[in-house]
Amino acid sequence: MPRYRLLIEYDGRGFVGWQRQADGPSVQAELERAIHAFSGEPVQTVASGRTDAGVHASGQVVHFDLDRWAPPERIVGALNAHLRPLPIAVLEARCARDDFHARFHALRRRYRYTILNRRAPPALLAGRVWHVPVALDAERMHAAAQPLVGRHDFTSFRAVACQSTSPVKTMQHLHVRRVGELVLVEAAARSFLHHQVRNIVGTLKLVGEGRRPVSFPAEALAARDRSAAGPTAPPGGLCLVGVDYPS
């Protein structure tokens, strides 16, 4: 039974998230529908991680099995044809080892949160950024973020509905930089808690506006209390940009 690995991108608007749910359309259900239409086989896909409603991906990795082998280039063309006009695209397909697992073998998930920092609202980037009209100090935000790098109890940045068995995670990378009118928050870890990145961004925004001191995120982290941190940033600015695996 051949196993395939896909690299996909999608616009999370209009979906309840990656995972199949009963209360609305999901990216997973639409991708499985396209695979079934192409192959005639019922399949179950496994993704590197679940993205929430409204969250985007440019580097989501998925694996699935077929009973019969098909050329990867044919899979790409067929799936994209069956996915039209949905905002989901298969960028690449490749044969994978029989034991490859998109979720369990991932070494690192990389997310980028994009803030549009200008007075005028977004037109071309609507739905893909968080519009913040008040001036932000990206260097101050970056300095405030560094105490969160490393292995910590991230209870203060965890959603109430988070199902993870432990609030302890290792943040491998957390960087804030300005590129013109955009403020980019880039985070990498093996795994994240529910809303962890969005809660961190909401906290850093308060620092960037000057409403909280640079020490605010570290103090919130130490409190181990969700109410000690900032608000949850909206989902549209968040994008899963890549997943790293052993070579």
Residue-level pLDDT, tens digit, the chain, 247 residues: 899 999 999 999 999 999 999 889 999 999 999 999 999 999 999 999 999 999 999 999 999 999 999 999 999 999 999 999 999 999 999 999 999 999 999 999 999 999 999 999 999 999 999 999 999 999 999 999 999 999 999 999 999 888 888 999 999 999 999 999 999 999 999 999 999 999 999 999 999 999 999 999 999 999 999 999 999 999 999 999 999 999 8
Length of the chain, in residues:
247
Strand boundaries in 78-118, DSSP class E? 88-96, 108-116
Neighbour count for residue 84 (Cβ, 10 Å): 10
Supply the pLDDT for residue 187. Answer: 98
Neighbour count for residue 139 (Cβ, 10 Å): 12
Q: Write the DSSP symbol of residue 159.
A: -
Domains within the chain, CATH numbers bracketed = 3-96 (3.30.70.580), 108-244 (3.30.70.660)
Supply the pLDDT for residue 1. Answer: 86
Q: Are 105 and 50 in contact (CB under 8 A)?
A: no
Residue 59: closest CA among 229, 244, 243, 246: 243
Residue 8: closest CA among 41, 23, 25, 30: 30
Phi, psi of 173 (to 5 degrees): -155, 135
Distance CA 135, CA 11 (A): 27
Strand boundaries in the chain, DSSP class E? 3-10, 46-47, 56-65, 88-96, 108-116, 130-131, 150-153, 168-179, 182-189, 238-244
Catalytic residue among 52, 137, 153, 244, which? 52
> Quick check: is 52 catalytic?
yes
